[in-house]
Amino acid sequence: MKKLSERGGGGSRRDRASVRPVTLSIQELAAGGSGIARTEQGEVVFVPGTASGDVVEADVDRSVRPARGKVLRVLTPGPGRVEPLCAFVTSCGGCDWMHLSAATQQEAHAVLVQRAIRRTTSDVALPPLRVHPAPQPFGYRTRARLLAKASRGGSRRGSGRGVHGTSGIGVGYRASGTHALVPVDRCLVLTPSLDALLSELPDLLVGATGEGDVLIAAGAGGRPVVELAWRGELAPSTWQQLDQRVAQGTWAGARVALEGVNRPASFGDPRPVIQGADGAPLLLSAGGFGQPSEEGASVLARRVHELVWLDAPSRPLHLLELFAGSGTLSVLLARGPNAADAADGEASLASFVAIEQGAEAAACLRENLAARGLSGKVVVADADATPIPPRVDVVVLDPPRGGASGAAAALAASSARVVVYVSCNPATLARDLALLTASGLMITHLEAVELFPQTSHVEVIVRLARRPARAAALS
C-alpha cells in the first residue's frame, strides 16, 4: 500500500491529530483536478491526487466546504492510476494529474468539457467531442512561471544542482492552492534547455533578499529568456551575471522589474520566440501570454484556421480576431484560406482585423505579420468591449480564463455567420456559449486540445454557425 503526502489545497483550521481516517471510494474527477467521493452519510469530499476507482484512506477536513480529503494511503488503485515519474509530484502544485495515464487524462478532460457545456446548454444538441492528443507528454513546456525566495542574502555552499547548492535561496513552484514555495531542481515537463535553468537561477540570486516571480521561456535561437519581477533587493552580482549571460550569448535576453521602479531593465531581447504554426519564428511579448507548448500551439492554430474556412461561401470574407495576443492564431488567419479550403479558389479573405489590449503584444503581432508579408489591421483595445462591425462574417476569440461575457453579448447581437471560440476554462466557456446559442448560433464542432499534459487543464475549441433565418423561424 502506497503512502502519499497531501497535494496542497485546503489547509486545515482544526486539530488533525483528533481526526480518524476515513475510507473513501473515488467516483469521478472534478474540474480543478480533485477526485470526488461520498461518505456513507452522503457527504461530498474532494480529494486531490486521486483517480476514478481509487479506494483511499483519507483524513477529511470538514471545516471547509466542500469537505477536503488528504490521502494517507491508496488502498486499491483505480484502473487509470500510474506511478508518477516526478519526485515533487505530491508537493508541487503544477502537475496535478501526473498520477493518471495519458488515456485517462484525455477521457477525463472530455467528460469535464462536455459536462460544463451541458450545464448551460441543456436544450442544445452537441456534436461529438474530438480530442487532439498531446504531441509529447513530457519535455513540452517552452515557458513556465516560477517563484523565487532569498533570505539573509543567500550564499554559495558546496556543489550540486538547484536549491541544493545555494543556501538561503529557493527556486521552484507554488504548492497547490497556496503561495508556499516548493523548491525543485528538476521539472520533467520543461524542455531540456529550460529545465537546465533551474540549476542556474539560485546562483543568480546570491546576495539578494526578498522574493519574486521568474518567467522563463525560449527566446531567439532557442536560447533562454528570463523575466524577473522582484520584491526586495538584488545584489550587484545579479546584474553582472545577467549582463554576462546575454553578452556571451548563453541567454537571448533578460528583463528585471523591481517593485517601486517604473521601468524594467532589459538585457538583449527578452521576448520569447517559438516556431509558429506556419513554420516561421513567432515573437511573443516579454512577460506576456503564450501557450505552454510550441507543438501544441501549432495544432491549435491549424485547427482553428480549418474551422474558420469550413463551408466558407463563394465570396471574400471579413474576419475579426478578438484577444489576438502576439499572433499565435493570427499568422494563419491573416493568410486567408488554404487551397483546399477555398471552393475552386472562390473563397477568399476580404479583410483581417485583430484586437489586442496589450500594447507590447500588439507590437509583436504587427512584427509577426510584417515578417511574413501579411496585411491586416491590429487595434489596441479591450476585446471584451469591442463592437462587432456589421460587415464581419467570421469572429475568432481566445480570451483569458475569465472568459468573454462582453464579447459574447456583442456576438449574440451581431450578424456574424461563424464564431470560433478558443478557451482554457470550460466553466466560463460554457457561460458564454449559453448566450451565443440562445441568439441562434449552433454548435457545429466541439474539440479538446491536450495542451497541458499531466494537468487537469485543457484547451477547448468550439465552432458555432448562424442558423439560416428560415430554419431559425421553424425551430
What single-letter DSSP state applies at residue 315? S
Closest CA to 1 of 52, 55, 38, 53: 55
364 assigned to active site: no
Task: Give the residue ranges of DSSP H helices in 63-135.
Answer: 102-120
Contacts of 396 (CB under 8 A, 6+ apart): 304, 308, 319, 320, 321, 322, 329, 333, 419, 420, 422
Under a CB-based contact definition with an 8 Å cutoff, are residues 297 and 274 in contact? yes
Half-sphere exposure of 2 (CA within 13 A, CB side): 17
Closest CA to 101 of 453, 459, 449: 453
Task: Give the residue ranges of DSSP H helices in 309-342.
Answer: 330-333
Cell output for 102: 495519458
Q: How far apart are the C-alpha atoms of 459 and 274, rounded to whole Å? A: 19
Under a CB-based contact definition with an 8 Å cutoff, are residues 467 and 436 in contact? no
Q: How far apart are the C-alpha atoms of 171 and 147, rounded to whole Å? A: 6
Tell whether residue 356 is among the known ligand binding residues.
yes
Burial class of residue 463 in the structure, from the number of CB atoms within 10 Å of its CB (0-12 exposed, 13-18 middle, 19+ buried): buried
Catalytic residue among 86, 95, 187, 424: 424
Tell whether residue 291 is among the known ligand binding residues.
yes
Cell output for 175: 504548492
Under a CB-based contact definition with an 8 Å cutoff, are residues 89 and 99 in contact? yes
Contacts of 69 (CB under 8 A, 6+ apart): 22, 24, 37, 45, 46, 47, 48, 56, 58, 59, 60, 61
Tell whether residue 323 is among the known ligand binding residues.
yes
Q: How far apart are the C-alpha atoms of 396 and 416, rounded to whole Å? A: 11
Contacts of 325 (CB under 8 A, 6+ apart): 284, 285, 288, 289, 290, 356, 358, 361, 365, 398
Q: How far apart are the C-alpha atoms of 336 and 173, rounded to whole Å? A: 41
- Distances in whole angstroms, Cα of residue 473 to Cα of each of 125, 441, 446, 469: 17, 13, 25, 6
Residue with cell 480533485: 34
Burial class of residue 349 in the structure, from the number of CB atoms within 10 Å of its CB (0-12 exposed, 13-18 middle, 19+ buried): buried
- List, in sequence order, every residue forming a beta bridge with 172; answer none if it has no partner: 147, 183
Active site residues: 424
Binding residues: 291, 323, 356, 398
Which amino acids are annotated as binding site for S-adenosyl-L-methionine, given as ranges?
291, 323, 356, 398
